[in-house]
Structure 1
Amino acid sequence: MDPRAGLTAFTPKLFTVLGEGYSLSRFRRDAIAGLTVAIVALPLAMALAIASGASPDKGLVTAVVAGFLISGLGGSRVQVGGPTGAFVVVVFNVIAQHGYDGLLLATLMAGVMLIVAGYSGLGSLVRFIPQPVVIGFTAGIAVIIASSQVKDFLGLAMKVVPADFIAKWAAYLGAMGSVQSVTFAIGAGSLALIMVLRKLAPRWPGFLIAVVLAALIVALFHLPVETIGSRFPDLRSGLPTPALPDISLAKIQAVMSSAFTIAFLAGIEALLSAVVADGMIGSRHRSNQELVGQGAANIASALFGGLPATGAIARTATNIRACALTPVAGMMHAVFLLLFILFGSALMAFVPLAALAAILLIVAWGMSEHHRFLQLLRMPNGDRILLLLTFGLTVLVDLTVAIGVGVTLASLLFMMRMSATVEIASDGRADQLDEEGDEIGQRDALPEGVEVFRIDGPIFFGVANELLDTLRRIGRTPRIVILRMRRVPLLDASGVTTIEEIVRQAASADTQIIFSGLRPQPEAMLDRVGLGARSGRAILCEDYPAALRIAAAIVAAPRSGAHLN
């Protein structure tokens, strides 16, 4: 690998674009785009923080600190980061189990994990996460987010909302008699306004307009609606002083699984967002540097008392539509939010929680990707089961369990399908072309006492035993067994162990194994277990005709009467 290419892969896109030349006109466009995104991110950051069980200022701090670093140190030209809906479930559970200090430690650990993953070159692995798993847990998170907003949207008189999905809805149904009509009207009006603006004026900041209008109505008419100020009377303004969370071995062990989940979600969502951005602007992000930037941003967010952060697809798309050119746009979005924290945070107290609930219902609907969900339901049974299982586990059990089971099941499903594509055949048509392009049937001119098998596909642990069983079903003991392997691209440890067992049993039966047409990787694997060309235990031929010539030359040799078994 070219050292310069490796260095470029870990260079933030900001450094690259500044090296290309950065003019005042480009800065003006980036600043306007940053302001546009900040207007969208302002109410969203507050709403996501409240839904996560934290105060709204935590969401704004996250958007400022992490948002600035995600753009400044990431591998995408236009990525915008901050708190996202994917973290709501995880953050809420971590705070409930380990307190806010436990969340800060988990976020800090997740940042370290992301940096290690980036420098380990794991950024490209996102493409191996199957769509049914991604859509399943994303839709599951959307359902949980929407469910968490019912109390604030309807104004239900509930002191405690259960965390469990079924218990939560049972509690909601039990409290339906306490619906506050004024609160519901504010929430429903905000929801309707956002939907209408998206339809008629999609470029307008619907979230911010709905929040400001709802706050004005509540304040002017002194409506009995719960606001940010009434729920969080002691909100702080400005950025807090950075500090390390409480760190101990016991606490690290307690939040380890949560840290892994945060790192996994941050990496997946950031890289998916970067891929979407690439398609919109015709660029290409640096996936490993993107993970490094995400890691640094989450470490900084934890030090400032913020929430986990990642690349946000909706805010990134807004940034692109606002004609952003470089990562400076995302950094300016953080600067504008910082100005609000410094000079306008007192205005947060007037925002009705029902309006923020309406925003999160819209976010949940967007996260659900219902079109893709319905599309996957029309796929084969394996994909449908994978989708529904991941979705169900996310909603009813735990996000970590859903991810683990989903990825494991997807891997098993893939291996099962791969094993079904592997063919071990002893027959062949007379008009079939061999490896050299000659018309020759596999069994044409086959000497007496010689058997031949053509293997198509990788020999891995999913098909290794099938190969052994096929050879055991020969019935009679051949003098020579030719294994045609030109169409075998891969031989794993289980496969080569099985082949070694075949060679061992063949030797005890006085049967010679000949391999023909080996590719470099399978040949190297055979050499590792002592079956190379110089081992004397098997014969390696360049092609099938050469194997036939060697078989014909030795078929008349005397032999014992043992069998392959």
Structure 2
Amino acid sequence: MLKDDRFKGLSLTDLKRDLLAGITVGIVAIPLGMAFAIASGVKPEYGLYTTVVAGIMVALFGGSRFQIAGPTGAFIPILLAIVLQYGYENLLIAGFLAGIMLILMGVLKLGNLITYIPRSLTIGFTSGIAVIIFSGQIGDFLGLAGLDKKQYFHENMIQIVQNITTVNWLSVLTALIGLSMIVFLPKLFPRAPVLLVALIIPTIVAIIFYPGKVASIGSAFGGISQSLPSFQIPSITLERILLLWQPAFVIAMLGGIESLLSAVVADGMTGRRHHSNRELVGQGLANIVTPMFGGIPATGAIARTATNIKSGAVSPFSGIFQGLFVLVILLLFAPYASHIPLASMAPILMIVAINMSEYKSFAHIFKLKTSDSLVLVTTFLLTVFVNLTIAVQVGLLLAMVSFIKRMSKIFEVEKVIPALKNSKSKTEETVSKCPQLSFFTISGPLFFGAADKFESVITRSINKRPTVIILKMKNVPIIDATAEANLASLAKDFHKMGGTLLISEANKEVRETLEISGLYEEIGAKHFFDDSSDAVDFGLQIINVQNCPKCGRNETSACQVFEQRKKVKTG
């Protein structure tokens, strides 16, 4: 791992700035931690446990100076699905397994690979998650009675329609008060802790004017403990690993993507550079330790990280102070949280959903009407109507197929007139008409998606029985195993027919691949050339003049091409 210099050179003034930033972020993190936990189908204190433990762990072991970790909205659909299908204990195991996967990604230096996931895929599932979060708060916003959390979007929507007559107008009033705080308070008091105020004011109103008339954290989940749960290692068995590895993988991928995106945002705001692989290891450690304290999966939170930077953070100590601040608040004021109305949580999560939806980017990609649009819409619909696990898998598959198709279109095999040293146009024209020499320029990656096109074009030339085929591979960046096998088959068949295959201007990587496979030796080192004109000269030397139909018809004793080539070289 890279040497960690994030804690070096700090002064007392720097620590004071980190303390202030940590408290500021902690004030934002408390309502979000509870809200995300409730939306994920678990008790609100589990979100606070995650904020404390994951926040401190990522600050200590992560790869960014300013990263703030904790529960995030992106995890809500997958966590809720796991809770509904497998239960809370299995959710802890899935988070633990995801942590191991993240560490392996970091150790194997896969931090940069995650950034290659196409934007159409990330926008697709992020927008789908936003729809699920927003729709999941409609019931609490309206105070509907008789609702049970269901796994599928359409089931929840049907329930809302069926129970729409049970609207609690006091819940609607509570939610509107909280929403007005979120919308108008920043305009009047820009430095006010908006989300915390959006919880406190509606709670005070509900307690004073209509106590017990709206659902609250206490009525739905009971009281919140004033301490962290006891340390306990999840009971992991092979059966549970086989059961949960897929959702764990999605948690790991989603957590890795969001953490690295958050770190990139922090880099852009500060001019610093994060260490992606160390960040993955830090996130992995956090997700291994957090379930041992009852916490849910965590990742880097973009909004809280940005708040941390804007609040003057200097080092990872701000993340540590944030976790400690939330712990102190939990120990001192946890019982009072039971009075918070669920309706006051709803507008907070709805605003989070709108902010994370990236609806402008969604509309832009959709308007392109390309394969990216297909990946976008497919991932979005599968996220909303099926689940995030299937959405990511199918989205990645579509993206890969789309990429392969695009790359295969880039690939070109063209029969051309070879460029000859010191040549005149008449000589080049004569070479191009020579039936015993075929010259091809190959452009683009020579891989399995283009191998069929490559083979069919060259095979057509072989069927015309030339004596020499020259392949100019200057613009071939790579060759994979499939294309190498096709090239080997073509070379073998052509050799049996008495022909000679020459390859010119292949780059170092292509040559190394052919050397490792043994094809370089089969074709023959003397048949590889750094310059195409040298390959043409060599090819003209081995052409059988007596069997040349063109020269035979003209009743010449020497090949016209060869004779003109000699004149060019001597003249």
TM-score greater than 0.5 by the shorter chain: yes
Deviation readout 1:528-564 (Å, 9 max, x if unpaired): 3332257549811111010011011001267799xxx
SS at 2:368's partner residue? coil
SS at 2:20's partner residue? helix
* Partner in structure 1 of residue 565 of structure 2: none
* Partner in structure 1 of residue 460 of structure 2: 473
Amino acid at match of 2:449: G
| Cα separation, 1, equivalents of 2:328 and 2:22 | 13
SS at 1:482's partner residue? strand
| Cα separation, 2, equivalents of 1:278 and 1:405 | 31
* Partner in structure 2 of residue 393 of structure 1: 382
Deviates more, 1:229-238 or 1:254-263: 229-238
* Partner in structure 1 of residue 438 of structure 2: 451
Q: 2:450 aligns with which of 459, 463, 482?
A: 463
Maintained 8 Å contact 2:131/2:353: yes
Amino acid at match of 1:233: G
Deviation readout 1:140-175 (Å, 9 max, x if unpaired): 011111111111110001242332111211111111
Q: 1:405-424, aligned counterparts within 5 Å?
A: 405-424=394-413
| Cα separation, 2, equivalents of 1:554 and 1:478 | 12
Q: 1:382 aligns with which of 367, 371, 375?
A: 371
| Cα separation, 2, equivalents of 1:141 and 1:409 | 19
SS at 2:474's partner residue? coil
| Residues 439 and 76 of structure 1, relative CA distance in 2, 3 Å threshold | farther
Amino acid at match of 1:515: I
Q: Say if 2:362 is the partner of 1:373.
A: yes
Q: 2:135 aligns with which of 130, 137, 147?
A: 147
Q: 1:20-419, aligned counterparts within 5 Å?
A: 21-223=9-211, 224-419=213-408
SS at 2:348's partner residue? helix
Maintained 8 Å contact 2:491/2:523: no
SS at 1:35's partner residue? helix
Cα offset for 1:22? 1.2
Deviation readout 1:226-254 (Å, 9 max, x if unpaired): 11111122421111111111222212211
Amino acid at match of 1:291: L
SS at 1:153's partner residue? helix
Where is the helix percentage greater, Structure 1 or Structure 2?
2
Deviates more, 1:23-32 or 1:190-199: 190-199
| Cα separation, 2, equivalents of 1:202 and 1:26 | 24
| Cα separation, 1, equivalents of 2:92 and 2:181 | 36
| Cα separation, 2, equivalents of 1:437 and 1:145 | 71
* Partner in structure 2 of residue 549 of structure 1: 537
* Partner in structure 1 of residue 561 of structure 2: none
Deviates more, 1:231-240 or 1:200-209: 200-209
Q: Name stretches of at least 5 consecutive residues in structure 2 with no aligned partner.
A: 550-571
| Cα separation, 2, equivalents of 1:559 and 1:532 | 29
| Residues 161 and 481 of structure 1, relative CA distance in 2, 3 Å threshold | same
Amino acid at match of 1:212: I
Q: Name stretches of at least 5 consecutive residues in structure 1 with no aligned partner.
A: 1-6
Deviates more, 1:155-164 or 1:250-259: 155-164
| Cα separation, 2, equivalents of 1:234 and 1:350 | 9
Deviates more, 1:468-477 or 1:515-524: 468-477
Maintained 8 Å contact 1:422/1:455: yes
| Cα separation, 1, equivalents of 2:293 and 2:491 | 63
Deviation readout 1:438-484 (Å, 9 max, x if unpaired): 99899545255101000011100011110111122336211111000
Deviation readout 1:4-59 (Å, 9 max, x if unpaired): xxx42xx44xxx1322x111100011111111101111100000000001111000
Amino acid at match of 2:494: A
Maintained 8 Å contact 1:26/1:325: yes
Number of matched pairs: 545
| Cα separation, 1, equivalents of 2:427 and 2:143 | 77
Deviation readout 1:238-281 (Å, 9 max, x if unpaired): 11111111222212211111111111111111011101111111
Maintained 8 Å contact 1:515/1:539: yes
Cα offset for 1:200? 4.4
| Residues 479 and 187 of structure 1, relative CA distance in 2, 3 Å threshold | same
**What TM-score does the superposition give when structure 2 sets the normalisation length?**
0.92
SS at 2:115's partner residue? helix
| Cα separation, 1, equivalents of 2:380 and 2:56 | 33
SS at 1:246's partner residue? coil
| Cα separation, 2, equivalents of 1:60 and 1:442 | 81
**What TM-score does the superposition give when structure 1 sets the normalisation length?**
0.93
Cα offset for 1:325? 1.0
Maintained 8 Å contact 1:106/1:258: yes
Maintained 8 Å contact 1:512/1:538: no
| Cα separation, 2, equivalents of 1:80 and 1:172 | 35
Cα offset for 1:378? 2.2
SS at 1:477's partner residue? coil
Cα offset for 1:491? 0.5
* Partner in structure 2 of residue 525 of structure 1: 513
Maintained 8 Å contact 1:443/1:452: no
| Cα separation, 1, equivalents of 2:464 and 2:489 | 18
| Cα separation, 1, equivalents of 2:294 and 2:481 | 47
Cα offset for 1:212? 0.5
Cα offset for 1:199? 4.2
Cα offset for 1:287? 0.2
* Structure of higher CA gyration radius: 2
* Partner in structure 2 of residue 4 of structure 1: none
Maintained 8 Å contact 1:136/1:388: yes
* Partner in structure 2 of residue 3 of structure 1: none
| Residues 169 and 509 of structure 1, relative CA distance in 2, 3 Å threshold | same
| Residues 222 and 442 of structure 1, relative CA distance in 2, 3 Å threshold | farther
| Residues 534 and 88 of structure 1, relative CA distance in 2, 3 Å threshold | closer
Maintained 8 Å contact 1:162/1:171: no
| Residues 522 and 437 of structure 1, relative CA distance in 2, 3 Å threshold | farther
Quote the sequence identity (%).
39
Q: 1:1-12, aligned counterparts within 5 Å?
A: 7-8=1-2, 11-12=3-4
